[in-house]
Chain A
Amino acid sequence: MYGHATMTTSITPPNPAPARRPAEWRDLIALTKPRVMSLVIFTGLCGLIAAPTRIHPVLAFTAILCIAIGAGGAAALNQWWEADLDAGMKRTAKRPLPQGRLDRTTARDFALVLCSGSVFLMGFAIGWLPAAILAVSIVYYSVIYTIWLKPRTPQNIVIGGGAGAFPPLIGWVAATGEITLMPVVLFAIIFMWTPPHFWALALFVKSDYAKVGIPMMPVVAGEKATRRQILIYSVLLLPLTMVPWWIGGTGLVYGASAFVLSALFLALSVRVGLRTRGEEDTMKPEKQLFAYSVIYLFALFAALVLDRFIVI
């Protein structure tokens, strides 16, 4: 709750712009970044299903709903805080706040209701341990990443990207009621996946970030250093994704899938890591790596769930 108190009492974003019309419910939904939420819901659901303990379907649905609402609230807080930056970037300029379709107070209040509501519902319905982890993940994303790290350091995504690693951990803990090695490994996999995923994107939208002064790795350290970092994280990701199989937490279905998927991820990363941008470069390898990285995470966690039902 630290994040909420901070944001409501002492932090005021610059240049609040009044909206001309009342808020449309579609714009409020857009504030929650529904497309991003789909990956959060999926990984959270996979953590819940892959856990060795079964919970009542209604409680499982509630846990995933809370993860989704919490993620939506954190995304709304992110957009509330970054409305000025979003207005300066082509990719984000058409969001509701930069377009003036929503006023900032409505966006902030909506976000705070979602965040606090999701944590309390999780606490009352499922348990206070998953609720506490959900609260930490919200503060991690909206305060530590968005407000603190993102505008200050090119390593922002390395530490801040951990926010996206929480859903499978929360899903698992919601089912079992305890934190064990397996959910921590699942957290670590997404944590390690985030930098190459995000830096691949940052390589081909570099000019957007430079324009609004966000110190993303390609802007501050240069393309060469970014490519090397992508390669390092991808090399580390392969053995890390094999850990659930090595420790006996999963079977061969997951083990084989993780190896194949991660080897392909590494191959695409090597192509990005070892090249230099040419004249009139379309950045196709970077775009392919970014697109594959999304499919990769879906497929890896799908394999984790399949492994629970298919025993070889």
Chain B
Amino acid sequence: MDEEKPETPAPDTRSVEQIRKDRNRVLGLGLAAFVVLVFFISIAKMS
């Protein structure tokens, strides 16, 4: 279960700011999803 096809490298055309912006957006969405998940876990554990 250790195997996968090699990933294709992303073309190196985007600016550093664009890369940071995209990463921050994904991080923000991840944190928001985590908060929502914890909320629903709390509800589920109380039910």
Interface, chain A (partner B; CB < 8 A): 21-28, 30, 33-36, 39-40, 56-59, 62, 65, 78, 90-96, 99, 101, 124-125, 161, 164, 194, 197-198, 201
Majority SS of interface residues in chain A?
Answer: helix
- Whether the pair B44, A21 counts as a contact (CB closer than 8 A) is no
Which residues of chain A have C-beta atoms less than 8 A from B2's C-beta? 36, 78, 164, 198
- Additional pairs, 16, CB under 8 Å, beyond known A91-B6, A125-B45, A164-B2: A22-B16, A22-B20, A28-B23, A35-B5, A40-B1, A56-B44, A56-B47, A58-B44, A59-B44, A59-B45, A93-B6, A94-B6, A94-B7, A94-B8, A96-B7, A161-B1
Which residues of chain B have C-beta atoms less than 8 A from A24's C-beta? 10, 19, 22-23
Partner of B4, one of A33, A164, A194: A33
How many A-B pairs have beta carbons closer than 8 Å: the answer is 72
Partner of B1, one of A26, A28, A58, A194: A194
Please provide the 10 A-B residue pairs with the shortest distance between their CB atoms, ordered closest to farther.
Answer: A164-B1, A35-B4, A58-B44, A94-B6, A56-B44, A25-B26, A25-B23, A125-B41, A58-B40, A30-B7
Task: For residue A191, give the distance in angstroms from its CB to the closest CB of chain B.
Answer: 11
Residues of B1-47 whose CB lies within 8 A of A: 1-10, 12, 16, 19-20, 22-23, 26-27, 37, 40-41, 43-45, 47
Interchain CA distance A101-B9 in the complex, whole Å: 9
Partner of A94, one of B9, B19, B23: B9
Task: For residue B26, give the distance in angstroms from its CB to the closest CB of chain A.
Answer: 4
Which residues of chain A have C-beta atoms less than 8 A from B9's C-beta? 94, 99, 101
On whether A62 and B37 interact (CB within 8 A), knowing A24-B19, A35-B5, the answer reads: yes
- 17 inter-chain pairs at a CB distance below 8 angstroms, sorted by A residue, are A21-B16, A24-B10, A24-B19, A35-B5, A36-B4, A58-B41, A58-B44, A65-B37, A91-B3, A92-B6, A94-B7, A96-B7, A101-B10, A124-B41, A164-B1, A194-B1, A201-B3
Among A26, A39, A124, A201: residue with most chain B CB under 10 A: A26
Partner of B7, one of A25, A78, A95, A164: A95
